[in-house]
Amino acid sequence: MPSVRHSAPDRAFDAWISAINQTCGRFRADVQSGDFSGGLKAYESSAVRASMVEASDGTHLYRTPEEVHEDDSSKFFAVLQLRGRCGIAQSDTETVLSPGDITLVDAAHPFSVKYIAASRQVSLILPRLAIERNLRAIRVHCAQRVPASTSAAGLARHLILATLRQTSSGLSRTEGEAALDAVVHLLRPAIGNTESPRQGGNDRLQRALDFIDDHIDAEELTPESIAQCIGISVRGLYRLFATQGLVVAQYIRNRRLDLCAETLRSMNCPQKLAAVGYTWGFSDSSHFSTAFKARFGISPGEYRRQHTGNVLAD
């Protein structure tokens, strides 16, 4: 039966898609019949945002380029199927989730979810920063099923559901971020490249990443110094990083900012903000503050206060 957009008088459908748009971001939806049923329960703490979504057989939920353009795309969705089945497609990849299966989709690109049977699933928002911080140079593969039978899916399912239960009792920002990081780590073998750069026969990228980590606090860390260390041209270095969807200078800056953020989250950090920036290779405090706010959405000082309550002078 061809899909048609559900008529406006169906209040249940209208309320459902309205709740989706308020909680998960911009989506469109249609159904194959007039007998729609569905629901949504939102979970939110200072760092965790998730939804328990229910939808009847034949419901189609999707994001077009228009929704992607209008919405915040700095996130991924970890989708955990609890009941029924659904098909998820993004780019050239499609998968079908059964109870216990998990997949990841990127909000920055169009995707669709087709509910094959009456379904219940959890959609956990993973900030793009959490993905980048934990996967680093690993290209993420979306819409790939992590089977329920795997240890990764079982542990991630337990952690996700436990995290949702804790949101109602006041999950702190630090605890929430730690839970999100743990979910990404658990799914890393399944959603990242199946081979590391070294296993794939290209140890130059791994050597470049190791060199960056070893010299991340040095102002003189540049594409030229990295290329010289691993024995290729600067242009070759750019191509090497491009294979993983990375830009050399951006990777270095983001790596430094993530290390600065890690330092600022520490209760034992007595340093002033400028000193934290200098420690990780930022020679200009103004540039550090601007770059930090661009990546994390708030100033370094506010970031420290949110995570530690530390009011040490900036």
CATH of the domain at 274: 1.10.10.60
C-alpha 267/C-alpha 186 separation (Å) is 26
Q: Are 216 and 259 in contact (CB under 8 A)?
A: yes
The percent of residues in the chain predicted with pLDDT above 70, rounded, is: 90
In a domain, 313, yes or no: no
Strand partners, 113: 61, 88
C-alpha 90/C-alpha 104 separation (Å) is 10
pLDDT of 314 reads 52
Q: Are 128 and 75 in contact (CB under 8 A)?
A: yes
Considering 143, 163, 191, which residue would you say is the last residue of a domain? 191
Confidence of residue 85 (pLDDT cuts 50, 70, 90): very high
Give the pTM.
Answer: 0.74
* Phi, psi torsion values for 301, nearest 5 degrees: -65, -45
CATH classification at residue 43: 2.60.120.10
* Phi, psi torsion values for 53, nearest 5 degrees: -110, 130
In a domain, 186, yes or no: yes
- For Cα atoms 239, 247, 74, give the angle at the middle one, nearest 5 degrees: 135
Q: Is the pLDDT of residue 175 over 80?
A: yes
Where is average pLDDT lowest: 15-29, 81-95, 103-117, 125-139?
Answer: 125-139
Q: Which domain holds residue 276?
A: 201-308
Q: Is the pLDDT of residue 200 over 70?
A: no
In a domain, 4, yes or no: no
C-alpha 218/C-alpha 289 separation (Å) is 18
In a domain, 1, yes or no: no
Q: Is the pLDDT of residue 43 over 80?
A: yes
Question: Is the same domain home to 149 and 289?
Answer: no
Question: Is the same domain home to 139 and 223?
Answer: no
> In 3D, which of 222, 224, 225 has the Cα closest to residue 235?
224
Question: Is the same domain home to 153 and 216?
Answer: no
Rounded to an integer, the average pLDDT of 141-154 is 92
Where is average pLDDT lowest: 12-26, 78-92, 233-247, 296-310?
Answer: 296-310
Question: 306: part of which helix (H) or strand (E)?
Answer: helix 300-308
Considering 146, 161, 191, which residue would you say is the last residue of a domain? 191
In a domain, 7, yes or no: no
The set of residues, in sequence order, having a beta carbon less than 8 Å from that of 17 and lying 6+ positions away, is 27, 28, 29
Residue 2 vs residue 95, higher pLDDT? 95
Q: Is the pLDDT of residue 4 over 60?
A: no
Number of structural domains found in the chain: 2
Confidence of residue 150 (pLDDT cuts 50, 70, 90): very high
C-alpha 88/C-alpha 294 separation (Å) is 32
Question: Is the same domain home to 70 and 145?
Answer: yes
In a domain, 269, yes or no: yes
In a domain, 259, yes or no: yes
Question: Is the same domain home to 132 and 263?
Answer: no
Considering 166, 191, 216, which residue would you say is the last residue of a domain? 191
Question: Encoding tokens for residue 295?
Answer: 């990546």
Question: Is the same domain home to 68 and 152?
Answer: yes
Question: Is the same domain home to 151 and 175?
Answer: yes
Q: Is the pLDDT of residue 44 over 80?
A: yes
Confidence of residue 3 (pLDDT cuts 50, 70, 90): very low
At 262-310, the pLDDT tens digits run 888 876 667 788 899 999 999 889 999 999 999 888 899 998 888 776 6
Question: Is the same domain home to 79 and 157?
Answer: yes
Question: Is the same domain home to 170 and 235?
Answer: no
The structure tokens 């997949």 sit at 103
C-alpha 30/C-alpha 206 separation (Å) is 46
In a domain, 50, yes or no: yes
Helix (H, G, I), strand (E, B) or coil at 113: strand
What DSSP assignment string belongs to 36-101?
Answer: --EEEEEEE-SS-EEEEEEE-TT-EEEE-HHHHHHS--SEEEEEEEEES-EEEEETTEEEEE-TT-
Question: Is the same domain home to 95 and 185?
Answer: yes
β pairing state of 111-115 and 102-106: unpaired
C-alpha 229/C-alpha 73 separation (Å) is 36
The percent of residues in the chain predicted with pLDDT above 90, rounded, is: 57
At 231-256, the pLDDT tens digits run 999 999 999 998 888 899 999 999 99
Q: Is the pLDDT of residue 137 over 90?
A: no
Question: Is the same domain home to 106 and 68?
Answer: yes
Question: Is the same domain home to 187 and 44?
Answer: yes
19-48 in b/e burial notation, b at 16+ Cβ within 10 A? bbeebbbbbbbbbbeeebebebeebebbbb
The dihedral over CA atoms of 11, 16, 22, 28, expressed in degrees to the nearest 10, equals: -100
